[in-house]
Copies of this chain bind each other. A is one copy, B any other.
Amino acid sequence: MAIKNFQEEFTVSSSKRTQLIDITGKVERLVKASKIKSGLCIVFVPHATAAVIMNENESGLVKDMEDYIKKNFPVGAGYAHDKIDDNADAHVASAFIGQSRMLPIKDGTIVRGTWQNIFVVELYGPRNSRRVVVSVVGK
């Protein structure tokens, strides 16, 4: 069987400096549209002040995850990069959280746990067009 590679992208908007944005439904629709039945999927943001993570979309937990970022990557904490810009915290967070997550594809859908939603992590918002690239490789 021939290899298939499906790539599509969409954008999301943010309204806060640090914000989790649930993109699970959008990713699942693209995987369905790809008609790829089994393989791998990458969810990737081509940005240096954003990231991707997966976890439960419960409002308290979303706040906890945003708080974790603010505590561990504090704004304006004497960064060298802030001498020429004002977003070193966002860059450092993006580098260490990571700008992609990978998922297996089986029976034409993402393999994921019940509480494993996919979030874009905005680290330097508000922005109105953060790109999200979904690339599926399989058959």
Contacts and interface: CB of A to CB of B under 8 A. Distances in A.
Interface of A: 1-3, 5, 7, 38-40, 42, 44-48, 53-56, 58-61, 63-65, 68, 72, 79-84, 88, 91-92, 94-106, 111-116, 133, 135, 137-139
Contacts of A96: 53, 65, 68, 97
Secondary structure dominating the interface of A: mixed
A135 to B, nearest CB: 4
A64 B46 contact: no
A64 B39 contact: no
Contacts of A55: 48, 91-92, 94-95
A22 to B, nearest CB: 13
